[in-house]
Amino acid sequence: MPYNALKIFLLSFFIVYFFAGFYVSKTIRGEKYLIFPAFLFTQVPPQIGTEYTVRILEYGGKELDHPILFPDAYKLYFDNSIALPHYNSVIRRIGMNIWQGQSGEIGQYIEALERSFLSKPVVYEIVRVKFDTIEYWRTGKTIEEKSIATFNTEDAGL
């Protein structure tokens, strides 16, 4: 390969990659295999934040006396096939899509989540939680919890 051709190739590689990365970062997953925009921690969480979490209502066919939130249910009801930070992003994506009324791409995330239940059937709801970020870390107190969808592992698909 001649020198100048290599130079043009390398330059265009970086430019194309940059725009591809920028484009991919706008999609739901935020990345694609082989294209990683490295946009990590781009948005500062607001002081009053909203998060999505899972609340388990029925587990293994039994109704729970006190519905249990995902952070407390982790390790008890979930296997470790998904690393913890990934669970959060999975749940966040499900929640955000339902909230925005687009259920296009959530199928695989629901599937991944349901696959990781240790015992089935499970009835759970996706909850939108409002909290003061720092207070939430210190005490775990939330300001508002609102259920936005209920799922049953027995239902096929959505």
Q: State which residue, 66 or 141, has the beta carbon closest to other proteins.
A: 141
Q: Which is nearer to other proteins, 83 or 158 (CB)?
A: 83
Residue 63: CB minimum distance to other proteins, A:
26
Q: Catalog residues that contact other proteins under the rule CB under 8 A.
A: 1, 3, 6-7, 10, 14, 17-18, 21, 25, 31-34, 36-47, 49, 51, 71, 74, 81-86, 88-90, 108-109, 112, 115, 133-134, 136-138, 140
Q: What is the 3-state secondary structure (H, E, C) of the chain?
A: CCHHHHHHHHHHHHHHHHHHHHHHHCCCCCCECCECCCCCCCCCCCCEEEEEEEEEEEECCEEEEEEEEHHHHCCCCECCCCCHHHHHHHHHHHHHHHHCCCCCCCHHHHHHHHHCECCCCEEEEEEEEEEEHHHHHHHCCCCEEEEEEEEECCCCCC
| Distance of closest approach, residue 120 Cβ to other proteins, in angstroms | 14
